[in-house]
Structure 1
Amino acid sequence: MRAFTDERDWAKFHDPKSLILALVGEVGELAELFQWLPADEAVQLAGTDPLRRRAGEEMADVLAYLVRLADVLDIDLAEAAMKKLENSAERFPAADFRGEAPEKA
């Protein structure tokens, strides 16, 4: 992402606020694809084109902006995700929460 950005001289547009707004916009586009689908049919419908292709495109946009934001903020996204998962495992032990949604996260 950094090389792609640098080749186009776009870094000047990639301040954290602008990247977050772009990320939110892309999440909105992904949400729009599923907004009015019946919840019990969403997985099945998303398994075939054109929804599968469009969802993949929007998810790729979300990932690209998230990766770029992590780069700009100098955050190791993989490390942050692993730490978050470890913390969640401690807060919500499988033995206590299997099949149960936490009342407060």
Structure 2
Amino acid sequence: MKHELLLLHNKEKMENSNSYEYSRKVMKDVSLKELRDRLAEFARVRGWDQYHSPRNLLLALVGEVGELSEIFQWKGEVERGLPNWTSDDKEHLEEELSDVLLYLVQLADVCGLDLGILEGTLEQ
């Protein structure tokens, strides 16, 4: 799934789900604002926004980064594109990277920061 982002999309499942299992759908060209808004709505619908303090989201983010690092822990140095990885390993990596991104976007949001400002910085 090159250059695509896995994220929650199915609003019906989002509103009816009681777990943090995302309904994932491949989407292209999703803006950070759209992702931020969807995540905020996802948390609001469940009443989780009351627990989404900067500290709690940072701790969750660190936990996800830990899970991400475990994927690489015993693999040694890996080549770009991960040519020697199984499809299951790559899928697991996609899931953990998505989790890290989701928590990062939520953390920036509750801190009142706009990650979209990076876009302008990269263009300079």
Aligned to 1:6: 44
Query: In the aligned structure 1, how far is the partner of 2:121 from the partner of 2:55?
Result: 23
TM-score (norm 2): 0.61
RMSD: 1.9
The reply to whether residue 16 of structure 1 matches residue 54 of structure 2 is yes
Query: In the aligned structure 1, how far is the partner of 2:113 from the partner of 2:78?
Result: 37
Structure with larger RCO (C-alpha < 8 A, sep 6+):
1
Aligned match for 1:44, one of 80, 83, 98: 83
Q: Where do 4+ consecutive residues of structure 1 move more than 3 Å?
A: 82-86
- The percent identity for this pair of structures is 45
The structure whose residues are more often strand, as a share, is: 2
Specify the structure having the higher radius of gyration (Cα). 1
Unaligned runs of 5+ in 2: 1-38
Query: In the aligned structure 2, how far is the partner of 1:28 from the partner of 1:84?
Result: 28
1:43-89 superposed Cα distances (whole Å, 9 cap, x missing partner): 2234x31110000000110011011111111111021x246647xx8
Query: In the aligned structure 2, how far is the partner of 1:11 from the partner of 1:72?
Result: 9
The reply to whether residue 74 of structure 1 matches residue 112 of structure 2 is yes
Q: Using a 3 Å threshold, how does the CA distance of structure 1 residues 27 and 84 change in structure 2: closer, same or farther?
A: farther
Question: Are the counterparts in 2 of residues 45 and 51 from structure 1 also a CA contact under 8 Å?
Answer: no
Q: Using a 3 Å threshold, how does the CA distance of structure 1 residues 60 and 73 change in structure 2: closer, same or farther?
A: same
TM-score (norm 1): 0.71
The structure whose residues are more often helix, as a share, is: 1
Q: Using a 3 Å threshold, how does the CA distance of structure 1 residues 35 and 12 change in structure 2: closer, same or farther?
A: same
